[in-house]
Structure 1
Amino acid sequence: MAELTGVYDFTKDNFRVSADMKKNFEDDGYILVREFFNDKEMTNLRKVFEESDLVDKHGLKVGDGSGKKTKIALWTHPGSDVSGMMARCDKIVNTCEELLGEEVYHYHGKLLYKDAFTGGAHLWHQDYGYWYRNTCLFPNMMTVFIAIDKCARTNGCLQILPGSQKCGRIDHVMVSGQMTATAERVEAVKNVCPLAYVEMEPGDALFFHCNLLHCSSANDSPDRRWAYLIAYNTKANNPVVPHHHAQYTPIQRVPNSAVEECTNYTDFTDKEFLTGHESKLTSKFDKSET
């Protein structure tokens, strides 16, 4: 089992991606920034998901093969609620652009919510395993995983294979309603990229490459595990074919203070929620697939 190496602390006044962070991202496929969002920012974010009808109205369920369901709500554009301010704020956009080396845009956002005792597993996959099928030609993409609750091994925290992004895209197949990397290849990769558990406190943020293999187990504990994930694509990697996630749309940036100052918890105008899980995809290049 591997220890997390690319772990950093957020500094409010002068945070930016250092040479060490960039090397960690290139070598291991991720960096973890502790306390990237403070208590006030996270309190504001929770109001969006806990005090609105977002989950009830837009939540989806997908099986994990064990009888449990993974729960997810997805949207295309950031919008102007607190979650949108978070996705558009300088510190998160700047970090993504410095890690990827070019302009990024909001590809989609999602709430992953594993409730106590019932939350299902997310099987081993690469995000680019999905996004390749969406006609994004290059793996110049990434995800930011923001812990809303404490994420521990007991409640299904993220598991990663550091360095696995260097394997390139791995074939994915449909298993129990989820697109998952082929099991034999994942087991082989584990031998050279030992597994690491990403245990996080609320407000911590994991920035990871779209080819990094990751999964999470079911939540059999009495503690829920909610997380907010934001996917970013690069401007030059605009998908060839329009689909259910965003084409290039310039980010309307906001200052970091906007996350604390925003009082919009319920107006989700322009977010464009998805009505089906993103694993229900077909290749846009192979017209014989249905």
Structure 2
Amino acid sequence: MIAMTSEERSAFAQDGYAIRKNLLSRKEAEQYLDRIRAPIEAEIKANKVLAKKDSDGRKALIRPIPNADEELLGFLGREERLVDLAHDVLGKPIYRFFAELQLKEPNVGGDGAWDWHQDFGFMFADGLLAPEMTTILIPFQKATKENGCMRLLKGSHKLGRLNHNTDLVPNRSEYCRVTQTSVEEKALKAAMERFEIVNVQLEPGDAFIWDANLIHGSNPNCSNGRLWSYICYYNAIDNKHYKADHEYGHYEPLNPAKFSSYFNA
């Protein structure tokens, strides 16, 4: 069973995040990318992925992964190394809350950034009472500032939940389908003056794991290459949705699996 090292645990508590190098091997990252490349490229071409405008009006692309896509895409969220790491962070039984592919496509209208936000910032409004969740991102190409890597405000998780732009809008679910959730402008400005901005540059297969209240986002893709990343959100079972009518994130038993079981390796 994989657990956080003492250094990772200390960094997570102090800074709000940790990085596990080579959680997946480069070969495994390439295998997963090879598996999804053609179907996801087809969905992008057919405008079947979600496109949300950032604060500068650029579109950022995301492909939600419901359970129906388990065999092709979603199985990675059940991979035992990710599950072990998330369980160790939260220290209690967990389930897979949601998963998605972040698709940074150059030169085709999918190069937008993700605005500064907290995951618990919008998930509280969606029906979670406590920030007892964590998120893991794994890139499939080298993630740099130029091609749109994640960025964060180091230590900002200690602020707790801040107000977000979507808190009070009418028809919130429809609004959020096309508009990004972001920290309220004045609070964000104050936080950016107080906390260091860190660009999370990663190699394929590295894992970036963060606290639900960490203020983070991603850079726009200003390169000529794409950056695709898998993101999985894990929630404590005793923190599951109290809104029965919400469309995602409801509890289902989590059965960890080995990566090799999907590739006959």
TM-score range for the pair, normalised by the shorter chain length: 0.7 to 0.9
Q: What count of residue pairs does the alignment treat as equivalent?
A: 249
TM-score by length of 1: 0.79
Deviations 1:229-287 (A, max 9, x none): 0111110101101212121111111134335537xxxxxxxxxxxxxxxxxxxxxxxxx
* Alignment match of 1:62 (pick from 52, 74, 78): 52
- Any idea what SS the aligned residue of 1:165 has? helix
Shift of residue 60 of structure 1? 1.2
- Partners of 1:28 and 1:198 lie apart in 2 by 13
Superposed CA offset, 1:84-113 (max 9, x none):
332112111011011111111111110111
Task: Tell me, in whole angstroms, the C-alpha distance in 2 between the residues paired with 1:79 and 1:65.
Answer: 30
Structure 1: 4+ residue segments shifted above 6 A: none
Q: CA offsets, 1:124-161, max 9 Å, x none?
A: 10111110011100000111111111111111211101
Offset at residue 167 of structure 1 (A): 0.4
Structure with more of its chain in helix, by fraction: 2
> 1:47 deviation in Å?
2.6
Structure 2 CA distance, aligned partners of 1:145 and 1:78?
Answer: 21
What letter corresponds to residue 134 of structure 1 in structure 2?
Answer: D
Do the aligned partners of residues 109 and 79 (structure 1) sit closer, same or farther apart at CA in structure 2, a change above 3 Å counting? Answer: same
RMSD: 2.1
The question of whether the paired residues in 1 share the 8 Å contact of 2:59 and 2:112 is answered with yes
User: What's the counterpart of residue 160 of structure 1?
Assistant: 152
1:16 match: secondary structure? coil
What is the letter of the counterpart of residue 67 of structure 2?
H
More divergent stretch after superposition (217-226 vs 74-83): 74-83
3-state SS of 1:206 partner: strand
**Cα distance change of structure 1 residues 16 and 259 upon mapping to structure 2, 3 Å threshold:** farther
**Equivalent position of 1:193 in the other structure:** 195
Alignment correspondent of 2:99:
109
Contact 1:128 1:211 in 2 (8 A): yes
Aligned residues of 2:8 and 2:19 also touching (Cα < 8 A)? no
- Corresponding residue number in structure 2 for 1:35: 22
Which consecutive unaligned segments of at least 5 residues does structure 1 have? 1-13, 263-290
Shift, 1:44, TM fit:
2.1
2:33 is the counterpart of 1:49? no
| Sequence identity percentage | 27
Q: d(CA) in 2 for partners of 1:72 and 1:79?
A: 15
| TM-score scaled by length of structure 2 | 0.86
- 1:229 matched to which residue of 2? 231
Paired position in structure 2 for 1:22:
9
Displacement of 1:62: 1.2
Distance 2:90 2:96 in 1: 14
